Amino acid sequence: MDNKTDTKGEHLIIFDTTLRDGEQSPGISLDTAEKLEIAEQLARLNVDYIEAGFPVASQGDFEAVSAIAKSVEGPIIAGLSRTQLHDVDRCWDALKFAEKARIHVFISTSPSHMEHMLHMDQAQVLAEVKSGVGRAREHTDDVEFSPQDATRTPLDFMIEVLNAAIEAGATCLNIPDTVGYGIPWDFGALISYVRKMVPGEYILSTHCHNDLGLATANSLAGVQAGARQVEVCVNGIGERAGNAALEEVVMAVNIRSDQFPGVTTTVNTSEIAKTSRLVARLTGYPVQYNKAVVGRNAFAHESGIHQHGVLAERSTYEIIEASSVGQAGRQIVLGKHSGRHAFSDTLEKMGLKVQGDTLNATFNRFKELADRKVQITEADLEAIVAEELGTAVSSEFVLEELEVSGGTVAQPMARVVIDKDGTKSEGKAEGNGMIDAACNALSNATGVNAKLSEFNVSAVTGGIDALGDVVIQVESNGIKVSGRGVSTDVVEASARAYLNAVNRILRMQAKGDEREVEIGP
Ligand code: KIV
Ligand code: ZN
């Protein structure tokens, strides 16, 4: 075997694609500022690579990748590109300010994709691989190549393509299980086969989707077979059923080091929970309660026997120490008498960068909240900061007043007052419940008719005065976005979430920021 794993020996490279593949999840649409926020947290998590986007896909993607390349320090910044020379050049234009950058070139190689999507034969695909990878190498000496839909590609053609990519200068070969078709032992065998059949110095990588719920298992099988890079997303988000979850792969390698002798990551695992919460908040994709590692029940013990065991000795029923992934008990940090200084100091200690107008707005929300809730925890602060950051980015309309009435007898009614650049407008409406009435009133006041397609409410912390965290998805004229709002009052949280989503729609319409280029199925 003469292919090297990595100059760092048995280091397993964590290639995070939350901002590229993760962002392709239906309904997720992050602003540049939100992507920067996540990228900075990924840097604190200490991932090796951040795949920041697909620059040719839209102007918004281009701007986000270049903003991350310009300001995020630590991880190497990667951008995705098709093999077309124009795409590769555009990708580099977005990346070129990064201290270290990688171009990730891909093309489909399965018969189904070649026939129905590319309309190319094998010779044409091979020529594309050579020209795209070759062009990328003119820009940077860190070039990844992916044969899309590798697990449904005939083996001999895949090997031919991979060898062509190496000849053209690829330094990393990624094997995407694009449609989540792989089964662990089969996927592991595929990785071993590539190692055997493609000589040279390169890093072998996995990119596993979760259509059969096997993305983490397949990634680990790949590592066992010699892959030294895994492509993962925080909370396992991504196209359809998602990608392999970063936290699962990292903790599996960490906890079961006996199964991966000498293989280590340099992820700062104590940042995992915070990263997970940030991604959930900004994407609007809640984490399922029983999700491995980051779910709120991942360290909860319900049965008496388990509780007894854990109290006597944690390891009886827990294989992961909660604090090792940042899941330790949430602290109470502030109260009603806390001033601006204590407030901004606390945010800074929590690693939340909030300045200027957003800091003022967040402080005002905190004061309002402190009047209704005695103790404000870190989780509460994260929730209001996330909401205000979303609002600051896309702020067109701001909720000023909300009045609702309803119950089991009278028709539910709502009245809202909203502000846009100092101009106030009022909206009144009825609804089939108070939340529906509030959304209808906002629709009247803003003139935007957005249809609610998903509604999710969860409590940020326990207790009767807990913050309600509402995440919704709405659709208007074919644009699907999510919105989030928090308040101790669920109707108010819903109205805030609805207005947040409306603002996003308006911003997307104004920028014409729909995707012009898609990646695949
Ligand atoms: O799933 C996939 O095939 C991809 C490629 C672009 C790597 O995301
Ligand atoms: Zn993918």
Give tens-digit pLDDT for 86-129. 999 999 999 999 999 999 999 999 999 999 999 999 999 999 99
Ligand nearest to the CA of 244: 2
Q: Is the CB of 106 under 6 A from ligand 1?
A: yes
Residue 428 has pLDDT above 90, yes or no: yes
H or E segment to which residue 335 belongs: strand 332-335
323 against 153, higher pLDDT: 153
pLDDT of residue 302: 60
Please, is 290 exposed, middle or buried when counting C-beta atoms within 10 Å of its C-beta (0-12, 13-18, 19+)?
A: exposed
209 CA from centroid of ligand 2 (Å): 6
What is the structure's pLDDT at 329? 55
Q: How confident is the model at residue 380 (pLDDT cuts 50, 70, 90)?
A: confident
351: pLDDT confidence band, cut at 50, 70 and 90? Answer: confident
CA 234 to chain CA mean position, Å: 6
Higher local confidence (pLDDT), 299 or 154: 154
At residue 150, the pLDDT reads: 98
Q: How confident is the model over 335-361, as a mean pLDDT?
A: 83
DSSP bridge partners of 456: 471
Q: Count Cα neighbours of 178 within 13 Å in the Cβ-side half-sphere.
A: 18
- Ligand closest in space to the Cα of 25: 2
Model confidence band, residue 301 (pLDDT cutoffs 50, 70, 90): low
Residue 124, C-beta contacts closer than 8 angstroms, at least 6 positions apart: 118
Residues 6 or more apart from 134 whose CB is under 8 A from it? 168, 169
What stretches of 343-478 adopt beta strand conformation (E)? 375-377, 398-405, 413-420, 423-430, 451-459, 468-476
Measured over all CA atoms, what is the biggest interatomic distance in the chain, rounded to whole angstroms? 77
The letter for the amino acid at 5 is T
At residue 3, does pLDDT exceed 70?
no
Summary mean pLDDT of the chain:
89
Beta bridge partners of 205: 174, 229
pLDDT for residue 332: 63
Confidence of residue 342 (pLDDT cuts 50, 70, 90): confident
Q: Are 237 and 246 within 8 A, CB to CB?
A: no
pLDDT at site 348: 84
Q: Which amino acid is at 70?
A: K
Q: Is 82 in the pocket of ligand 1 (CB under 6 A)?
A: no
Whose tokens are 């509030």? That residue is 438
C-beta separation of 391 from 472 below 8 A: no
Count Cα atoms within 13 angstroms, Cβ side, for 390: 33
Give the model confidence (pLDDT) of 479-494 as tens digits.
778 788 888 899 999 9
Residue 237 has pLDDT above 50, yes or no: yes
Q: Are strands 375-377 and 398-405 parallel, antiparallel or unpaired?
A: unpaired
What does the domain layout of the chain look like in residue ranges?
Answer: 13-283, 299-326, 340-389, 392-511
- What's the Cα-to-Cα distance from 503 to each of 274, 283, 442, 472, rounded to whole Å? 26, 15, 11, 13
Q: Which ligand has the minimum distance to the alpha carbon of residue 238?
A: 2
180 lines ligand 1 (CB under 6 A): no
Residue 80 alpha carbon, nearest atom of ligand 1: 6
Return the residue matching tokens 């101009």: 423
Residue of 270, 285, 275, 322 whose CA lies nearest to 301: 322
20: exposed, middle or buried (C-beta count within 10 Å: 0-12, 13-18, 19+)? buried
Is the pLDDT at 245 greater than 80, yes or no? Answer: yes
Taking CA atoms only, the protein residue closest to ligand 1 atom 8 is 21
Task: For residue 149, give the ligand 1 atom closest to its CA.
Answer: 3
Task: Using the mean position of ligand 1's atoms as its centre, give its distance from the Cα of residue 181 in Å.
Answer: 13
Alpha-carbon 165 to chain mean position: 29
Residue nearest atom 2 in ligand 1 by C-alpha distance: 178
Measured between alpha carbons, how far is residue 334 from residues 339, 457, 458 in Å?
A: 9, 24, 22
Residues 6+ away with beta carbon under 8 Å from 407 = none
pLDDT at 114: 96
Closest residue CA from atom 5 of ligand 1 = 148
Distance between CA atoms of 51 and 304, rounded to whole angstroms?
44
The kind and range of the H/E element at 45 are: helix 32-45
Report percent pLDDT > 70 for the chain.
90
Q: How much distance in Å is there from the Cα of 472 to the middle of ligand 1?
A: 27
Helix (H) or strand (E) holding 312: helix 304-312
Domain at 13-283, CATH homologous superfamily: Aldolase class I (3.20.20.70)
Q: What is the mean pLDDT of residues 177-196?
A: 98
pLDDT at 521: 45
State the angle between helix axes of 246-255 and 215-224 in degrees (0 to 180), rounded to the nearest 10: 50
Top-confidence residue, 112 or 520: 112
> Given the CA of residue 24, which atom of ligand 1 is nearest to it?
8
Q: Show the tokens assigned to 48.
A: 């090796």
pLDDT at 164 over 80: yes
Residue ranges of the alpha helices (H) in 101-245? 111-113, 122-139, 155-168, 184-197, 215-224
The answer on pLDDT for 475 being more than 80 is: yes
Expressed in angstroms and rounded, the spacing between residue 303 Cα and the centre of ligand 1 is 42
Q: What angle, rounded to 10 degrees, do the helices at 246-255 and 272-283 form?
A: 170
User: In the predicted model, is pLDDT for residue 252 greater than 70?
Assistant: yes
User: In sequence order, what are the beta bridge partners of 413?
Assistant: 405, 430
pTM comes to 0.82
C-alpha 176 – ligand 2 centre gap (Å): 7
pLDDT at residue 425, as a whole number: 94
CATH superfamily, region 392-511: Alpha-isopropylmalate synthase LeuA, regulatory domain (3.30.160.270)
Helix (H) or strand (E) holding 382: helix 378-394
| The pair of three-digit structure tokens given for residue 261, joined into one six-digit string | 């002798």
Residue 141 neighbours by CB distance under 10 Å: 10
Mean pLDDT of 293-319: 75
Judge contact between 342 and 335, C-beta under 8 A.
Answer: no
Query: Residue 2 has what pLDDT?
Result: 40
pLDDT above 90 (res 418): yes
pLDDT tens for each residue of 69-79:
999 999 999 99
Smallest CA-to-CA distance from 14 within 49, 44, 43 is with 49
Q: What is the pLDDT of residue 390?
A: 61
pLDDT of residue 1: 34
Q: How far is the CA of 116 from the centre of ligand 1 (A)?
A: 17
